[in-house]
């Protein structure tokens, strides 16, 4: 007897011994029913393929033109491929659902085909060089194995074509964008170059790179000025000496002409000088020397003035050089920044052109079919083994439930403890087990209370 849902091992053995046929009937029965149901269900065949993302062999030198994450790109491609515009041609190409076209709306047929296509992303193994997904699988389930394989091949081809178009489109867009930026950078670079060149032309002689030459030239001019000044001094002295010598010779010559002392020559009148004879050649040479020295003196004086002007200009250049240096540095810095930016864009353009060429050569980041779409030999649904196992398992579970219910409904008393528990009175006597002969040699041992309902 089971009380409060509690039962012992003896109760279980007793129920199994008495109702064993329930377990023997339910498990095989439901197994057979499952087999019959599986045989009646429409069969589905699954064709599958595995596509890997093949990275370019020169990826260490050339960056991929596609910066979008592969997972996002694949999700976007999947949405495009399972769209109505892409699946409708597949239905028409393979004449799918021919019997239901007149009965079912076209959108429902597309939804049915969309549900038959399963795209699963593959996860990269831990510790690999590339953390993003290495590829994906395409599974197509249909009621015909050949058609399932054809649909799987068509869907895989769509992925390949879509990926190639995406690579080419993004490569051309990136190249066009970089080309536009490169033109703008070239214009700015030319502008900075023109400013720097104009500034150098305007401040020629004041540029920082000319400071050292200006200092050297200033030193040379100062030396030349000293030499010219000394030459002027000597020329002035020579001129004064020759003038004094000429004056003495002239006085002596005049005195010899008038027969008077040189002291009285100053009292002579102008008419008397007109009657003079020609001067001696020595005096004429001396007078010519004085004239030449005068010319040399004037030349040296002009030369001294020019040197002083040049020194003044150079000193002004040297004084203004720091301010010009600051402006040159600013212009040079702007020009260098424009040049660096232009070179960066030029390098990016070259790097974008190379992946574009590799895309056309099938050496870019491409999808590679590792396993071609398979031709299924056995149906993926229903699986006979799964149905048989499920039927036997379900039958066994049902049999155990029935046995538990039978055990819970059993109110008979079988032991002294059950009698005491049920009557709540002490048992003073017990009836021994009576043995009755059955047949010739078998003894039937049966508790006297078995089958007795004391309610």
pLDDT of the residue at 145: 92
| Beta-sheet strand order (sheet of 45-54) | 117-122, 135-142, 45-54, 366-371
pLDDT of the residue at 148: 92
Residue-level length of the chain: 455
pLDDT of the residue at 364: 47
- What does the radius of gyration of the chain's CA atoms come to, in whole angstroms? 61
pLDDT of the residue at 208: 74
Show the low-confidence residues of the chain (pLDDT under 70).
1-8, 55-70, 124-133, 258-277, 352-365, 410-411, 413-455
pLDDT of the residue at 31: 79
pLDDT of the residue at 113: 92
Q: How many CB atoms lie under 10 A from the CB of residue 338?
A: 19
Q: Is the dihedral of CA 188, 192, 197, 203 positive or negative?
A: positive
pLDDT of the residue at 47: 93
Torsion region of 64: left, alpha or beta (phi above 0 gives left; psi -120 to 50 gives alpha): beta
Q: Note the pTM of the prediction, 2 decimals.
A: 0.49
pLDDT of the residue at 415: 66
pLDDT of the residue at 48: 92
Task: Report the C-alpha gap between 364 and 53 in whole angstroms.
Answer: 10
């Amino acid at each position: 007897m089971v009380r409060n849902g509690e039962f012992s091992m003896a109760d279980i053995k007793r129920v199994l011994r008495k109702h064993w046929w329930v377990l023997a009937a339910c498990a095989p029965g439901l197994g057979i029913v499952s087999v019959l149901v599986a045989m009646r269900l429409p069969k589905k065949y699954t064709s599958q393929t595995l596509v890997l993302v093949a990275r370019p062999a020169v990826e260490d030198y050339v960056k991929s033109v596609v910066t979008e994450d592969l997972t996002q790109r694949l999700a976007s491609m999947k949405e495009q491929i399972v769209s109505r515009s892409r699946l409708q041609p597949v239905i028409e190409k393979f004449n799918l659902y021919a019997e239901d076209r007149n009965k079912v709306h076209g959108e429902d047929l597309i939804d049915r085909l969309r549900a038959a296509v399963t795209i699963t992303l593959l996860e990269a193994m831990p510790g690999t060089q590339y953390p993003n997904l290495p590829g994906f699988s395409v599974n197509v389930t249909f009621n015909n194995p050949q058609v399932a394989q054809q649909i799987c091949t068509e869907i895989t081809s769509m992925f390949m074509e879509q990926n190639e178009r995406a690579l080419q489109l993004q490569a051309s867009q990136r190249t066009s964008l970089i080309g536009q930026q490169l033109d703008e950078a070239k214009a700015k670079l030319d502008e900075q170059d023109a400013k720097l060149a104009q500034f150098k032309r305007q401040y020629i002689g004041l540029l920082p790179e000319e400071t050292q030459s200006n200092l050297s030239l200033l030193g040379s001019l100062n030396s030349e000025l000293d030499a010219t000044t000394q030459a002027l001094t000597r020329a002035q002295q020579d001129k004064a000496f020759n003038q004094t010598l000429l004056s003495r010779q002239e006085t002596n010559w005049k005195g010899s002409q008038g027969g008077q002392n040189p002291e009285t020559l100053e009292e002579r009148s102008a008419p008397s000088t007109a009657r003079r004879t020609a001067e001696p050649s020595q005096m004429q040479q001396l007078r010519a020397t004085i004239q030449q020295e005068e010319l040399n003196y004037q030349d040296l004086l002009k030369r001294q003035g020019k040197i002083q002007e040049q020194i003044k200009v150079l000193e002004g250049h040297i004084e203004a050089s720091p301010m010009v240096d600051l402006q040159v540095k600013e212009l040079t810095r702007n020009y260098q920044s424009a040049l660096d930016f232009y070179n960066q864009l030029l390098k990016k353009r070259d790097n974008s052109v190379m992946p574009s060429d590799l895309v056309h050569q099938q050496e870019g980041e491409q999808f590679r079919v590792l396993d071609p779409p398979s031709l299924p030999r056995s149906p993926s649904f229903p699986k006979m083994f799964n149905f048989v196992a499920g039927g036997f398992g379900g039958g066994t579970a049902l049999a155990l439930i029935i046995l538990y219910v039978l055990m819970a409904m059993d109110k008979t008393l079988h032991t002294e403890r059950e009698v005491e528990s049920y009557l709540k009175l002490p048992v003073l006597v017990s009836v021994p087990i009576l043995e009755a002969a059955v047949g010739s040699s078998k003894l039937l041992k049966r508790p006297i209370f078995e089958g007795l309902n004391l309610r």
